[in-house]
Structure 1
Amino acid sequence: MSTTAARPAPDSPLGKLMAALPRAGTVEWIGVRPARDTAMVAVESAQASTGGGLTGDRYKGGNGKRGITLIQAEHLPVIAALAGHEHVAPDTLRRNLVVSGIPLVALKGRRFRVGGLVLEGTESCDPCSRMEDALGPGGYNAMRGHGGLCARIVEGGIVRVGDAVEAL
């Protein structure tokens, strides 16, 4: 099933509710994974290629559905609390972008702009088994429902810390 098949008609009452977002978000952190099983590298900006991924990131998007991964900054303290930590650093969770101020779940199946990029939310970014090592026992479950969003890169460009995140 496509991500758009389950969406209500845009002019329906539910469609209108799902389209209304309180405000734009902000890119708080950017990270790339240069190789498998290596630490992420925080960067101030990154180039993204259409249908691919971020320059310097080992994961180049594969089938295009996971060209870039995003997580909400507001979920980091929740994940930390559920995993029994005071805080969790963004690189621990291995997502490319940490954004604040916008509910990522509302961008699933939609196109949105992040700085110079146009992305399309494709699927939830579920945690992987590595979260047990990163967060300790139960780390996988601490992230469930808080793992963020995978997105396809529809229009490449540059994304920078501080850029706006806006639904199109």
Structure 2
Amino acid sequence: MMSRHAQAGRLEAIGLREARRADMQFVDSAVVTDSGLADDHGRPGKRAVTLIQAEHLPVIAALVGHGVTASDLRRNLVISGINLAALRKGAVRIGDVVLTVEGPCPPCSRMDEVLGHGGYNAVRGHGGWYASVAQPGTLRIGDGVTAG
């Protein structure tokens, strides 16, 4: 049961940041190297790429009482249609790229700055996942997302 998913997911958005506090720039495609997304300031290793479940954005918005965007949460990839939590410690294929979902992204204190009072707690449990790169390649909006 743990390896079965109701459907494949979909890559909805790709966000890059050229520096730590820089604005997110959304692109239609991105090259993924062994150390993460090209043109992103991210860090190599277990936290090379960050992902967020698209379905969690309205949950966070409901908890803070106003709209929330993928840019607010500063995650690289927005995924819909497949439960990322079910892929923890496993491989996820997005197009021709394979990532290993390493662990959950805890919120940072900046969430109160960006989302307002209570933003930090609203994101807890919904902040996404960080992943390492198992197989580099190119990501494109609309790519399918599957286990393995």
CA RMSD after TM alignment: 0.8
Tell me, in whole angstroms, the C-alpha distance in 2 between the residues paired with 1:94 and 1:77.
Answer: 16
Give a deviation string over 1:8-51, Cα, whole Å, max 9, x none. Answer: xxxxxxxxx2211111100001101111211110111100112x
Name stretches of at least 5 consecutive residues in structure 2 with no aligned partner.
none
Give distance in 1, aligned partners of 2:28 and 2:108.
26
Q: Is the 8 A contact 1:54 1:60 kept in 2?
A: no
Q: 1:46 aligned to 2:30?
A: yes
Q: 2:39 aligns with which of 56, 77, 94?
A: 56
TM-superposed CA distance for 1:60, in Å, is 3.1
Paired position in structure 2 for 1:31:
15
8 A Cα contact 1:102 1:165, kept in partner: yes
CA distance in 1 between partners of 2:65 and 2:33 (Å) = 37
- Structure 1 residue ranges, 4+ long, deviating more than 6 angstroms after superposition: none
Secondary structure, aligned partner of 1:71: strand
- Map of 2:52 onto structure 1: 71
One-letter amino acid of the structure 2 residue matched with residue 46 of structure 1: A
Alpha-carbon distance in structure 1 between the residues aligned to 2:13 and 2:68 = 13
Matches of residues 139-158 of structure 1 in structure 2 within 5 Å?
A: 139-158=119-138
Q: How many residues align?
A: 148
Q: Report the TM-score when normalising by structure 2.
A: 0.97
After superposition, what is the alpha-carbon deviation per residue over 1:142-166, rounded to whole angstroms, capped at 9, x for unaligned?
0000011111110101001100000
The whole-number CA distance in structure 2 between the counterparts of 1:167 and 1:37 is 32
CA contact (8 A) 1:124 1:148 kept: yes
- After TM superposition, the score normalised by the length of structure 1 is 0.86
| Structure 1: segments with no counterpart, 5+ residues | 1-16
Distance 2:144 2:108 in 1: 28
